[in-house]
């Protein structure tokens, strides 16, 4: 059965699913950490500019490609330019998304463990005196992540949940899950904003996050903001091409791109409003905001000092789990759609073909913190190698190729017809979007790529 005729059943479902893909660990822990290390509000300012000037046009290019071709990430290129090597771009997107899936699933498993530990109360069973708390949560995180078996169990639970949802299909699986999960996520975020803002000294943190000091803007800050915008909007991995192939013909792509980007930005900003006041209030330093430490050490420390510790902890890790789950589903869907279309397989078979190898590949990523930690590729653990390869190299390369394809290879009318729904909409901004895709986006994204090489 081909998936080419499947569509999302409602506008809300379509938005919820696409926002579910965009909103993930990138918003919840990567964004606050990037903001902290790139100068606070100045980074936020540049991030917003990158998102609107570059992110939305690239999102529109992916949407147009997917909906116009009504095909998976590889099939879209084959359909529009048959008998040319352009399908390789789609192939790279599938590969990139699969590599990301291998390690993203591991981290999603960690969020599940912390949700479970919060529910059982075990997370707060150690010495919670102020002096011992930091080292006690650190030790807990390290002993969990660096163990072999417990993270594998959670990883397999996550893979199982993913298989079940993917098998249920686009409408009954992905759309239904997103319709339930996304409102929960926004509600939880609002609750946390309220809690964080009511802490003593919260305004200091808010000032850091929202009052820009423009002298802090450097080329490095711009490149990091650009990278974060692409990561957060799930660009350059075929996710948006695949999801847009499920958009009905009358979906307004411009409006959808703006809504999705705005909601993705809103989650990142709300997360900043949760983190920075809390950090200021509890007098924490920058090292406590980095990656896993932020969510698995710093936040539990904050919850432990608040009333209703367990309640806040359960709600926060539920939020994190929801964000991670809807993103893993969207990343996996790229490969599922490709197998379904290319090899004419049923959804159930395609889901199994995609997910079963993860039991091995993701296990290797998980074990790279434990007994495989000495196994390195170019001096990096398997986990870090895949992370760097996929997000710093594949993601910008695929994005540049998509821009070149839509700006220089397919006819301008194809792009325009998609944006204007075959002339039914005015598409006043189309010339600007087209100009950006053709001339501005490729060199700017190239900058992200070059800077990744310099950093490596």
CB of 179 to ligand PFF, least distance (A): 18
Q: Does 331 bind ligand PFF (CB under 6 A)?
A: yes
Select from 256, 391, 399, 451 the one that contacts ligand PFF (CB under 6 A): 391
Residue with tokens 């909906």: 67
User: How many residues sit in the footprint of ligand PFF (CB under 6 A)?
Assistant: 14
Which residue's CB comes closest to ligand PFF?
A: 26
Q: Does 100 bind ligand PFF (CB under 6 A)?
A: yes
Q: Return the number of the residue (209 or 231) whose C-beta is nearest ligand PFF.
A: 231
Residues 261 and 91: their CA atoms lie apart, in Å, by: 25
Q: Does 381 bind ligand PFF (CB under 6 A)?
A: no
CA distance readout (Å), 4 to 8, 244, 342: 12, 11, 11
CB of 321 to ligand PFF, least distance (A): 13
Q: Return the number of the residue (256 or 327) whose C-beta is nearest ligand PFF.
A: 327
Residues 346 and 353: their CA atoms lie apart, in Å, by: 11
What's the token pair of residue 349? 């078979």
Select from 234, 245, 363, 451 the one that contacts ligand PFF (CB under 6 A): 234
CB of 81 to ligand PFF, least distance (A): 26
- Of the candidates 255, 242, 265, 248, the one whose C-alpha atom is nearest the C-alpha of residue 402 is 242
Q: Does 32 bind ligand PFF (CB under 6 A)?
A: no
Q: Does 451 bind ligand PFF (CB under 6 A)?
A: no
Residues 202 and 312: their CA atoms lie apart, in Å, by: 18
Contact at 8 Å (CB) between 244 and 62? yes
Select from 110, 231, 296, 321 the one that contacts ligand PFF (CB under 6 A): 231
Q: Does 224 bind ligand PFF (CB under 6 A)?
A: no
Q: Does 237 bind ligand PFF (CB under 6 A)?
A: yes
CB of 358 to ligand PFF, least distance (A): 15
CB of 83 to ligand PFF, least distance (A): 31
Q: Return the number of the residue (104 or 246) whose C-beta is nearest ligand PFF.
A: 104
Q: For binding to ligand PFF (CB under 6 A), which residues are involved?
A: 22, 24-27, 100, 231-232, 234, 237, 327, 331, 391, 395
């Amino acid at each position: 059965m081909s998936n080419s005729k499947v569509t999302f059943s409602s506008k809300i479902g379509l938005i919820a699913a696409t926002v579910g893909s965009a909103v993930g660990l990138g918003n919840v822990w990567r964004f606050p950490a990037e903001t902290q290390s790139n100068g606070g509000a100045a980074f936020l300012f540049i991030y917003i500019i990158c998102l609107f000037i570059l992110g939305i046009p690239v999102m529109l290019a992916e949407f147009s490609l997917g909906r116009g071709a009504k095909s998976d990430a590889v099939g879209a290129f084959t359909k529009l330019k048959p008998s040319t090597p352009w399908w390789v771009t789609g192939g790279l997107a599938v590969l990139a998304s699969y590599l990301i899936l291998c390690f993203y699933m591991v981290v999603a498993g960690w969020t599940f463990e912390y949700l479970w530990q919060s529910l059982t109360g075990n997370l707060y069973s150690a010495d919670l005196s102020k002096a011992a708390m930091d080292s006690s949560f650190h030790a807990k995180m390290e002993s969990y992540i660096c163990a072999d078996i417990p993270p594998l169990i959670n990883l397999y639970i996550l893979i199982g949940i993913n298989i079940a949802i993917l098998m249920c299909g686009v409408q009954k699986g992905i759309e239904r899950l997103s319709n339930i999960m996304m409102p929960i996520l926004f509600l939880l975020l609002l609750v946390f904003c309220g809690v964080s803002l009511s802490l003593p000294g919260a305004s200091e943190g808010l000032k850091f996050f929202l009052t820009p000091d423009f002298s802090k803007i450097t080329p490095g800050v711009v490149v990091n903001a650009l990278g974060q915008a692409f990561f957060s909007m799930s660009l350059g991995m075929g996710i948006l091409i695949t999801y847009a192939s499920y958009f009905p013909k009358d979906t307004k792509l411009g409006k959808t791109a703006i809504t999705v980007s705005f909601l993705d930005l809103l989650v990142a900003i709300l997360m900043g409003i949760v983190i920075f006041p809390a950090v200021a209030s509890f007098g924490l330093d920058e090292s406590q905001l980095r990656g896993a430490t932020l969510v698995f050490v710093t936040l539990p420390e904050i919850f432990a000092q608040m009333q209703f510790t367990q309640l806040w902890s359960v709600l926060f890790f539920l939020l994190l789990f929801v964000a991670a789950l809807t993103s893993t589903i969207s990343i996996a869907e790229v490969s599922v759609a490709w197998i379904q279309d290319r090899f004419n397989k049923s959804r159930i078979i395609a889901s199994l073909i995609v997910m079963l190898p993860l039991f091995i590949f993701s296990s290797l990523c998980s074990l790279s913190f434990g007994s495989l930690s000495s196994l390195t590729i170019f001096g990096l653990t398997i986990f870090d190698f895949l992370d760097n390869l996929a997000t710093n190299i594949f993601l910008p390369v695929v994005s540049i190729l998509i821009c070149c394809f839509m700006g220089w290879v397919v006819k301008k009318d194809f792009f325009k017809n998609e944006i204007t729904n075959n002339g039914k909409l005015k598409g006043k901004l189309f010339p600007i979007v087209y100009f950006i895709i053709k001339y501005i986006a490729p060199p700017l994204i190239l900058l992200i790529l070059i800077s990744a090489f310099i950093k490596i």
